[in-house]
Amino acid sequence: MKENKKKNSRNITFKKLFLIFVIGSVVGNYYEMILNLVRHYLRDGSIFWEVRRGFIYGPFSPVYGLGAVLMTLVFAEKDYKWYKVILYGALICGTFEYLISFLQEKIIGTISWNYTRYPLDINGRTTIPIMLLWGIMTLIFTKYLYPFITKIINNTPYMVKEIVIYPLIIFITFDAFISGAAVFRQSMRRDGKPPVTILGKICDKVYTDERLKEVYPNMRVPER
């Protein structure tokens, strides 16, 4: 048993987790966009294609990417019963979603989702039904998607992975940094604070409120 656990732990490397983060971020971004498209079409017949990404550049929704990484670390290479995967996945991912919403509001003073009008909501940051949906998604990911992704990664030639992964790491790191800096600087502008660094001046010039509104149409300051 101990030898199997050690062997399984070696299957989850940093590079593999990073690729899972990227894949989860891209899939999550388009999942949100398609879901929003269907929601609008069923409501009034309109075709509404809205940006749902979490970084300024690229089709990445890091909440989903981090969720995929979290599912991998907790559930992948483990032999949990299906109902335990759903239950634990609901609790862990629901808590993660709540925490991300809480930190976003406390650090930069904005929110990107609000479930107060939904049944069984928890402070508007998540709901019991959505937590159960996270649990089902965890089961689907760990039982079907993770083995499929692992197979693709393992069958990709080593040199191809090396050529792709390092530029991706650099790009995603830059994307995450500049996205965080831009929204943080925006929160400072709302408080009337002038920029004190070159980066702050760049953010004020390049990543204006109008630009960020296009990138993050759902991000808003919560009502008090």
Q: Does 220 reside within a domain?
A: no
What distances in angstroms separate CA 29 from CA 58, 161, 216, 224, one per listed residue?
10, 23, 12, 29
Judged by DSSP in three states, 157 sits in: coil
Q: Dig out the tokens for 217 from the structure.
A: 């149409």
Percent of the chain with pLDDT over 90: 74
Q: Which structural domain range is residue 160 located in?
A: 2-215
pLDDT digits (tens, 9 = 90+) for 57-113: 999 999 999 999 999 999 988 889 999 999 999 999 999 999 999 999 999 889 999
Q: Does 111 reside within a domain?
A: yes
> Strand ranges (DSSP E) for the chain?
121-122, 126-127
Q: Does 116 reside within a domain?
A: yes
Rounded Cα gap, residues 41 and 148, in angstroms: 32
Q: What's the predicted TM-score (pTM) here? A: 0.87
Q: Does 67 reside within a domain?
A: yes
Pair 200, 188: CB distance under 8 Å: yes
Q: Does 153 reside within a domain?
A: yes
The number of distinct structural domains making up the chain is: 1
Q: Does 11 reside within a domain?
A: yes
What distances in angstroms separate CA 49 from CA 58, 127, 215, 224, one per listed residue?
16, 25, 13, 30
Q: Does 163 reside within a domain?
A: yes
Rounded Cα gap, residues 41 and 51, in angstroms: 16
Residue 50 is predicted with a pLDDT of 82
Q: Does 221 reside within a domain?
A: no
Closest CA relative to residue 218, chosen from 115, 128, 106, 134: 115
